[in-house]
Structure 1
Amino acid sequence: MLVPLVVRSFYSMMRGVVSPTEWAMAAKAAGLPRIALTDRNGLYGVPTFVEACEKAGLRSIVGVELVYDGGRAVLIAGRKAGFSAISRLLTARASGLASFDARAAVASILGEATPGDLFGLTDDEVLLNRPQGGDSIFALVSPCNRAAWRRLVATGRRPVATPELSFRDRGQREVQRLLLAIGAQNCIHDIGDDSLDPPEALWNSATLAAPPLASPWAAPSALVPWLEEAFTSNALIAREALCDPFSGFVFPRYGMARTASVVLHAVPAATAPCAAPAASSALLHALVLEGAARRYGEVTAAVMERIDYELKLIESKGFCDYFLVVKDIVKRASRICGRGSAAASIVAYCLFITEVDPIRHNLYFERFLNPGRKDPPDIDVDFAWDERDALLAEVIEAYGPEHTARVANHNCFRSRSALRETARAFGMPDTEISSFEKSLRVDEAGTLATADQEWKKIARLSSSIAGLPRHLGTHSGGLIIVPDSLADHVPVEATGSGIRVTAWDKEGVETAGLVKIDLLGNRSLAVVRDALAAIGERGLPFDPDNWHPIDDADTVSLLARGDTMGVFYVESPAMRLLQIKTGKGDFEHLVIHSSIIRPAANKYIDEYVDRLRGKPWKAFHPLLAGLFDESYGILCYQEDVSKAAIALAGFSSADADALRKILAKKDADARLQEHWPAFLEGARSRGVDEAAIRAVWDMMRSFSGYSFVKAHSASYAMLSFQSAFLRAHYPAQFMAAVLSNHGGFYSTLAYASESRRMGLRLLPPDVNESGWRCRGEEGRIRFGFCMLSSLGKGAAEALLAERDRAGPYVSVEDFARRNRFERIDAEALVGSGAFDSLLGAQGRASGQPLGRANALMILLSICAAREGRASAGGTSGGAPRDLFEEGREAFALGKRQAIPSQPIPGAARKRRAAELQYLGTTLDSHPLELWPRAFATPRDRAVDLRRSVGRRVRLLGWPITAKPVLTASEEPMEFVSFEDETAIFEAVLFPEAFRKFRHLLFEEGPLWITGLVENNRGAISLTIENLVRAATH
């Protein structure tokens, strides 16, 4: 049989339609020993394909079909050097240089390749007639280019016969037509057949047949010997081609950085291209011992024993340089949080990569690294979100762009985008597409409930492209560093935003053995950093070198109450409710709680709470006794799945670890089911009854897609404690930092409300008092200019720089003369109250106070005069008309509108409305007061709900966050958090109420909520029965 050497998958992006795994399975079913993957202009699918072939028991062949003006060439790797040559070629092609000549580049690498490194297959007669290439270049013969066979004979090159494969069934040509239309932003009817791969590129057993020659290989007798030679060449290439292009792990080397933050003893980083292994080992030992002295003071025998064990294992596996490189990176940042399984390592702790003592907190090192583990360690580090990008740029510059790149994401069509793009390709206008989406329904048989045949066709075709990759994106933080040229290992190209990325995603680089370092952004690290800086600037009592938040009673109490808005990792409604139910705020319980909260774990959470509160319990089976006592017998962490599989079903450590690894995969539940027979049989053989087996297996399945190792949760719990300590002891500085960093689970409005509930006074931005960030001091928070979403950062920095240069602004006119600004900037500053102090001072001096509307007119007038216009004109459409309209009229009449000495209710309402628009919140009161009629209506209050358990209530609430979920029967429902002026309250929209009322949550503003108050283990919630939007008047 012929081995297919030209095979295109859906990684021929925006053209291919078949997955690499499908091709591997088809080859296995046909009895083929090997099959190639040669996607168009890319190696994007190689890792997936290699894994699929290995799983199917096939030998993979990897290459690329390089398509260029006037021709194409298929390059197949014969050895690793050939694969590297292909990778370098694709990297050069992606560089976008006008001087890149693909045909010449192919001729060059084939000419320079050592025989056997690379095979070139082409029907480009120009390339075949060039002198380069020697025995490495073959004339490509396939049923798809039959018309060129005689011309190919004339080149004198050795022929090679192969099927060309693009489709598994004939209907997939229409899917390819659709992809080409979407890619060209064209109508599908304008994509002609000549743009598609030919019909002969269809999987067909006849094309795999060996001689005697029959259709589709039938040829005139004169060509028969030539074709027989072509079949022989197919067997030669199939036999000699490289099977696996990945050879072990590729680690960075310490000392290769142009600027290193850790001094390499005896081998200076500036002079050594990379450290010798012995030097790296010696340096790692020295740094760990130095760090141990700082961490522990007195290094006990237990600490030294653990250090020795880890260092010997790290050295034996050749990982010393990896740890040193990560150490070099983290030393470049102000605050970091090492996380993941690396937090179980005392070496990482002593290198200050992680912040949790693994001995004190009993963290399982073997989950991170063990003698039998084949894959490399994976160290993930969080950095302050606003420092991360600069840090990445610094690291890439330090280690050299030729050695580094970010990890890619393979961005795929989702169902919604697939439907929209398909409809556009059929010429549907966006308005009609949106209308169809809103009315989209699927009947009980799973078919689209519409009578429109064209929409049915659109929906059918769109489902064919959902899940297909369409372009590269950038992984949130993955970085690859190698000691040699990265392009030797993987093609590198720029995304649409200009970031250099690998051709493979995180799973792909892992398969290829390229060791990834995750450098991720974390807003809470910035919150802690900013709060500590503010504490230091204010000279408040605080010793950062003697800071032990996990031992602080006030912090533990705050966490136990669930009083945690703004506190990292424990502020979500689910976590706050769990804290309230358990009443536990110590470190050990917080680690459990942050791990046990999983989408599929609700029944286990309830059982955990009951057991914690005294319900008698025992292990599911005596074989599990003692394994999970710290979490009251409930499996909680990823490693618990491995422990249960070993203890209950007799899995080997390797098999149990493979089971654990599945948990993080996209198709975790389906892949877990593959292990069920072995788990069932293993547990039965140990005398475990069926009920216990299924109970434990169901608990293990609840980890699918979302679970953590204990070390990861412990790392995050430490950051939670730091956040909670700052909230408990320095509330103004902490909440100012939370607001400034615009992160967390909630909106600015919700955090502002929480600040008021904490007794903090909120002050507007001020052109003389504010900086870029919010500032907390003595029971109040002064908003910074970062809170003004419509004020450009450049404008804010300019006004701050001018204030630093020439002193405070003395009047609105003074500000306007000293700064250049856009109209939208003026409206934001005035509407937010940034000129209120100046207006008050000017009013007191003149005896006639000025209003915000007058300030806006002054600013716009001077702005207009500077630009040479006759008048200021109107403001942009975003300004609230009722706030500024009177000011415009007063300015036109040459008079100033005075503000009453006691603000009238209408004026206060306008001020608050402007604050809500420009700051995202009101300052001195809750935004519910902007709905005066509803606000004054008799109603129940959130703060009193605990006294209303079991009865129906009616509240006025503002939705602040929501989480849609599916019930066990796959029906949608939603958990919603509301607040009124007194407190936050949690509510539930069960499926029937969800269908009726969910649309009301799409718009901002207050709702009347009617429902039944319930108490679940001490946590109060409201089951919603009715929702009505509050009237505006």
Structure 2
Amino acid sequence: MYLNCHSYYSLRFGTFSEVELLELARENHVTQLALTDINNTSACLNFIRKAESYGIKPLVGVDFRNGVDQQFVGIARNNHGFKQLNDLLSAHLHTEKLIPQQAPELSDVFIVYPFEKVLLNEMDTFKPYEYIGISVKDLRKLPFSKYITYKDRLVVQQPVTFRNKRDYNAHRLLRAIDNNTLLSKLQAEEQANEDEKMYPVENLYQAFKEYPFILENTDQLLKQCSINFDFSAGKQSQNQQTYTRSKEEDYLLLEKLCLAQMDYRYPDEQDAAIERMRKELELIRKMEYVSYFLINYDIISYARSKGYFHVGRGSGANSIVAYLLGITDVDPLELDLYFERFMNLFRSTPPDFDIDFSWRDREDVTRYIFDRFPNVALMGTYVTFKYKGVVRELGKVFGLPKEDIDRLSDGQFKLNELDELSELVLRYGTLIEGMPNYISVHSSGILISEYSLQHFCATFLPPKGFATVQIDMHIAEDVGLYKYDVLGQRGLAKIKETLQIIAYNQPDNNTFDIHNVKQFKTDVKVNTMLSRGQCMGCFYVESPAMRMLISKLKVDNYLGLVAASSIIRPGVSQSGMMREYILRHHKPERIKQAHPVLLQIMPDTYGVMVYQEDVIKVAHHFAGLSLGEADVLRRGMSGKYRSRDEFKAVEEKFIDNCRKRGYDDKVTKEVWKQIESFAGYAFAKGHSASYAVESYQSLFLRAYYPLEYMVAVLNNGGGFYRPEIYIHEARMLGAIVHAPCINRSSMENKIYGKHIYLGFGYLKDLEQRSCIRILKERTHGAFTSLEDFIERVTISIDQLSILIRIGAFRFTGVDKYELLWKAHFSLGHIQRFEDQYQLFKVRQNNYEVPVLQTTKLEEAFEQIELLGFTLCSPFDLLLEEPKNNRITNDFQQYLNKHIDIYGYLVTTKRSTTQNGNQMYFATFIDQIGEVFDVVLFPQIAAKNKFRGKGIYRIYGKVVSEFGYLSLEVVKMKKEDYIQDPRFQ
């Protein structure tokens, strides 16, 4: 009897989930009802999926509104009607056009106009599928209206938005947030009526007892509606089924493509490769994933045709078919990769590739996919209200001062010291925390469907202009829609741009093939650099934690890097198995402590679980679980996994099987602890191998073309560290770094030989339009003087001052103070506009200016203000000279002793101990520019605080762990810089 029910996917309006709506219906003896969220169909599929377990017949539709102004409610008669509603809603969401007062004709949709809207618009005629909705409160007006005579058009339309007063309060808060207004100023028309709630069916019948025809009409409408989707475990995939429009042709094409690349990938012995290929192809055909491989191959082929770099990673890199197709560059035979991690007969969800493109190229690849395939959309995701966001929003709603909002948001308060309004913010915040706030775009997912995606939900159009579904990946998978993952990363852009820079900076020295990773893996220079942890700027291996691990393991080969890439993950490290792996690596006799079965399963990793497929192997071979049950464990480690019930059942069977096999409970629990520690973090081995390939490409470029590579790193947003650190690293590698220059710089950094000119983009206050004008005018010839520049470029005195202060006119040989005087004499009195150009050359007056001289210190502070960092050594700015000149190289002679050393702070990482105490890891640069690492244990961290970037004097003990030297801090103090000489 309820045709207009809202869940909290009526964003910033509804107050409870679609599942809670079903629970509410069951409590009120409702056996059929319609979910009609406002301009949204996000919850429809899950509502339909869950309804059966509540004994309820589900109907779905859309409450079409302009803001809160309800125009009509559309209810789907069937699946086609649902598509029609999604098509209509999508069209309005894409174009942002208002919903019309009159609904268009939709053959399989019932339209219900709210009684108030019918009265307001004085509607007279209604089509057979159109109805007038009467709520309980409308019954007071109905007898006095002409519409009482429209007996065959009247249906019950009692809106459901709240369950109780608590929901109503949450609704008002959501509406105030949506309107960005104080709760006290929220207008009544922006809120729903408090009586929009569900009554027991008996009460509803009682309310309408004088109008039995309304109840009969409603019942007839409900009976005509039916909607079904297959949510069963054996459901057919809704992805595009074929690539060539024939499954047989698809298979023949896939086989042909693989064989065509066999000589390239395996020029020598091919028997093992062909055997593995045949095995994989048979399983791929049996599980009907042939089109999936071909579509990925199509995407990669387009990218290759455009010269785009890519990395195929994830468990897909375990496949030799993917390797032959060029989707990945990881040889599964070389690494003995476990194909069953990617695909097996017992896997209940299809496999997926993660394909990375450069962040610069990804959008074009996405556009190609939309143009190439008929039914495409980006995957949606829900952004929910989190604690900090809730506190900030409600703080504004209740009118709290900003400082109070900041204090509550940061958790810096005591409950007993809060005022009444602050208490209200926290109390009411619990009402909306966790609710969806808005729909966004999934970071990488793209759906390529056999059918129009409007069969499943509506789509909206985010700023980049690609249609995006209103459902997330969990709901999509429930109905058989599985995403393709197309991601963007900066590491590939760094590699690609380095090649471009080498082409103009060292044109006679670029004969290598960047894809010849096999050669890089055996390069002595590359491997030596890797083993020493000299990896700053290199993909995935530059962080302090990764440098430390590589140094401790003395990784000097590809296979070692593959293992390290996965060992560093939290699942392995937090379980204590990272340390155990290192111990076994250094002490072969310790390997004997591994359980014989585990050592037999994982000899390469000394019996330690490192990769996701290790869990499958251990579950299958150690505990005797079936591959299907082992795959449950694999999914249980994924953030995508939603239900823990199935996982718990497998855990019980795992332990029971181990007992039956005679394992000691202590051993069983330790193995299970390792499995649990992988939750959400472990890599598939092929994924680690893919990362290692890209790392080796980066390492090769850094080893042989260090300056070009560092420029590319800077031009692509840096990496783990801030730009200043990469500029320092370039200088350590032999570069001569210059501040931006009018004649040599561009928006990005440029290199000429060993000279790097910083880009205009580092000047925080320099407008982009000023840069564009400068670069455009420079195509007509270099600027010869300040006067020449002023004549040729339309620029304000403020913008010109920035360029002078940073030294962009230093080629003139004139001091910047003198240039500033000249600039103000020339432009200080002129208001120049963008489209104002000079028809005649302006005569420059000769002014006498005072003789001024910029000091090195003034220049340094100018750079800090304009760039955010100085190009000189920060140690030159200390108020007091360092009391010693100790450096990182002194650590060895101070091993297990205390040392006093100065360091410029690079980065910090806060960590929490098992007891909940805070400790810190930090990286510094010493007085000659070398990097060293320190740790502050909880007692020290509580007394010694980091106070932003700068130079610290550190006293601590030098310790060695597996040969890696670092400093355990005893005390530290931030040193003062001299006073800015410009303001003395």
Q: 2:837 maps to what in 1?
A: none
Separation of aligned partners in 1, 2:52 and 2:690:
37
The residue that corresponds to 1:931 in the other structure is 878
Work out whether residues 669 and 701 of structure 1, in 8 Å CA contact, stay in contact via their aligned partners in 2. no
Residues 851 and 679 of structure 1: is their aligned pair in 2 closer, same or farther, counting only changes over 3 Å? same
The answer as to 2:403 corresponding to 1:417 is no
Question: Does the Cα contact within 8 Å between 2:385 and 2:433 map onto a contact in 1?
Answer: yes
Structure 2 counterpart of 1:371: 345
CA distance in 1, matches of 2:300, 2:698: 24
Q: 2:167 aligns with which of 166, 172, 194?
A: 172
Residues 643 and 64 of structure 1: is their aligned pair in 2 closer, same or farther, counting only changes over 3 Å? farther
1:179 Cα shift? 0.7
Any residues of structure 2 matched to 1:105-116 within 5 Å, and which? 105=104, 108-109=105-106, 112-113=107-108
| Aligned counterparts, 1:703-782, within 5 A | 703-776=678-751, 779-782=754-757
- Alignment partner, residue 92 of structure 1: 91
2:372 aligns to what? 399
Which of 436, 446, 453 does residue 469 from structure 1 map onto? 436
- Amino acid in structure 2 at the alignment position of 1:631: T
1:184 aligned onto 2:158: no
Q: Which of 570, 583, 587 is the aligned partner of 2:541? A: 570
Cα deviation, 1:922-959, whole Å, max 9, x if unaligned, reads 33x422322242x4333643442343343444433332
Letter paired with 1:910 = E
Inter-partner Cα distance in structure 1 for 2:781 and 2:69: 67
Deviation at 1:994, TM superposition (A): 4.3
Give, as a single letter, the amino acid of the residue that structure 2 aligns with 1:579: I
> How many residue pairs end up in the alignment?
946
**2:232 aligned with 1:288:** no
> In structure 2, what is the Cα distance between the partners aligned to 1:33 and 1:632?
59
Instruction: Describe the superposition over 1:598-635 as per-residue Cα deviations: whole angstroms up to 9, x where unpaired.
Output: 33523221111101111513576555342222222221
SS state of the match for residue 417, structure 2? coil
- 1:719 is displaced (CA, Å) by 0.3
**Per-residue deviation, 1:578:** 0.4
The aligned runs of 1:227-626 (5 Å cut-off) are 229=216, 232-233=219-220, 236=223, 240-242=226-228, 244=230, 248-252=236-240, 275-298=245-268, 300-316=270-286, 317-320=288-291, 321-331=294-304, 332-396=306-370, 398-399=371-372, 403-437=375-409, 440-441=412-413, 448-482=415-449, 485-495=452-462, 500-537=467-504, 538=506, 539-544=508-513, 546=516, 548-600=519-571, 601-602=573-574, 603-614=576-587, 615-618=589-592, 621-626=595-600
Measured in 1, the distance between the counterparts of 2:229 and 2:450 equals 24
Give the direction of change, closer, same or farther, for the CA distance of 1:617–1:171 in structure 2 (3 Å limit).
same
Which residue of 904, 913, 934 maps to 1:958? Answer: 904
What one-letter code is carried by the residue in structure 2 that aligns with 1:578?
Answer: L
Deviation of 1:455 after TM superposition, in Å, equals 0.8
In the alignment, structure 1 residue 895 sits paired with structure 2 residue 867: no
Return closer, same or farther for 1:523/1:827 CA change in 2, 3 Å cut-off.
Answer: farther
Change (3 A) 1:866 1:512: farther
1:855 aligned partner:
819
**Gaps spanning 5+ residues in structure 2: where?**
834-844, 979-984
SS in 1 for 2:725: helix
Distance in 2, Cα, partners of 1:711 & 1:88: 41
Change (3 A) 1:785 1:189: closer
User: 2: CA distance between counterparts of 1:160 and 1:125?
Assistant: 14
Which residue of structure 1 lines up, in the alignment, with residue 610 of structure 2?
636
Q: Conserved in 2, the CA contact under 8 Å of 1:60 and 1:243?
A: no
Contact kept in structure 2, 1:103 and 1:127, CA below 8 Å: no
Identity of aligned residues (%): 28
Q: Give the partner amino acid of 1:914.
A: E
Any unmatched runs of 5+ in structure 1? 256-273, 443-447, 841-849, 870-890, 900-905
TM-score of the two chains, using structure 1 as the length reference: 0.83
Q: Is the 8 A contact 2:317 2:323 kept in 1?
A: yes
Give the whole-Å Cα distance in 2 for the aligned partners of 1:551 and 1:144: 80
Counterpart of 1:915 in structure 2 is 863
Q: 1:196 to 1:859 in 2, by over 3 A?
A: same
Contact 2:613 2:684 in 1 (8 A): yes
The structure-2 alpha-carbon separation of the partners of 1:192 and 1:63, relative to structure 1 and needing over 3 Å to count, comes to same
- Measure the CA separation in 1 of the matches of 2:968 and 2:644: 34
CA-to-aligned-CA distance 1:486-522 (integer Å, 9 cap, x gap):
4344311123676542212333433343342322221
- How far the C-alpha of 1:807 sits from its partner, in A, is 2.7
Query: Once the 2 structures are TM-superposed, how far is the Cα of residue 184 of structure 1 from its aligned partner?
Result: 0.4
TM-score of the pair, normalised by structure 2: 0.87
Instruction: Say yes or no: does 1:969 pair with 2:915.
Output: yes
**Counterpart of 1:186 in structure 2: which amino acid?**
T
Q: What letter corresponds to residue 922 of structure 1 in structure 2?
A: T
Quick check: 1:681 aligned with 2:656? Answer: yes
The CA distance in 1 between the partners of 2:620 and 2:28, in whole Å, is: 38
Matched, 1:693 2:693: no
Judging changes above 3 Å, is the alpha-carbon distance between structure 1 residues 937 and 148 closer, same or farther for their aligned structure 2 residues?
Answer: farther
Write the distance in 2 (CA, Å) between the matches of 1:54 and 1:596: 45
2: distance between equivalents of 1:633 and 1:669?
30
**8 Å CA contact retained: 1:399, 1:481:** no
Tell me the C-alpha RMSD between the 2 structures.
3.6
How far residue 588 of structure 1 moved from its aligned partner, in angstroms, is: 1.2
Letter in 2 for 1:839: T
Corresponding residue number in structure 2 for 1:877 = none
Deviation at 1:713, TM superposition (A): 1.2
Are 2:959 and 1:987 equivalent residues in the alignment?
no
Greater Cα offset, 18-27 or 41-50: 18-27
Separation in 1, partners of 2:321, 2:899: 56
**Which residue of the partner structure matches residue 445 of structure 1?**
none
Distance 1:561 1:49, change over 3 A: farther
Q: Distance in 1 between matches of 2:660 and 2:812?
A: 84
**2: CA distance between counterparts of 1:992 and 1:25?**
51
Separation (CA, whole Å) in 2 of partners of 1:157 and 1:947: 96
Structure 1 residues 413 and 777: CA distance shift in structure 2, 3 A: same
Which residue of structure 1 lines up, in the alignment, with residue 809 of structure 2? Answer: 835
Which deviates the most, 775-784 or 976-985? 775-784
For the 8 Å contact 1:125–1:155, the answer to whether it is kept is no
Q: Deviations over 1:1004-1029 (max 9, x none)?
A: 32333344433333233333444433
Give the deviation of 1:14 after TM superposition. Answer: 0.7
Q: CA deviation at 1:337?
A: 1.2
- Aligned pair in 2 of structure 1 residues 725, 920: CA closer, same or farther (>3 Å)? farther
- The SS at the match of 2:590 is coil
1:95 is paired with a residue whose SS is helix
Q: What is the distance in 2 between the residues matched to 1:608 and 1:972?
A: 26
Determine the C-alpha separation between the residues in 2 that align with 1:685 and 1:199: 61
For 2:228 and 2:250, how far apart are their aligned partners in 1?
34
- Structure 1 residues 635 and 425, CA gap change in structure 2 (3 angstroms): same
**Equivalent residues of 2:118, 2:132 under 8 A apart:** no
Counterpart of 1:501, as a letter, is: T
Residues in 2 aligned to 1:551 and 1:32: alpha-carbon distance in whole angstroms: 71
Q: Distance in 2 between matches of 1:18 and 1:612?
A: 53
Kept after mapping to 2: 8 A contact 1:64/1:76: yes
SS at 2:447's partner residue? strand
User: Residue 422 of structure 1 aligns to which amino acid in structure 2?
Assistant: L
- Distance (whole Å) between structure 2 residues aligned to residue 243 and residue 738 of structure 1: 49
Check 1:364–1:858 CA distance in 2 against 1; reply closer, same or farther (3 A cut).
farther
- How big is the shift at 1:245? 8.4
Deviates more, 1:152-161 or 1:500-509: 152-161
Output the CA distance in 1 between the equivalents of 2:934 and 2:140. 70
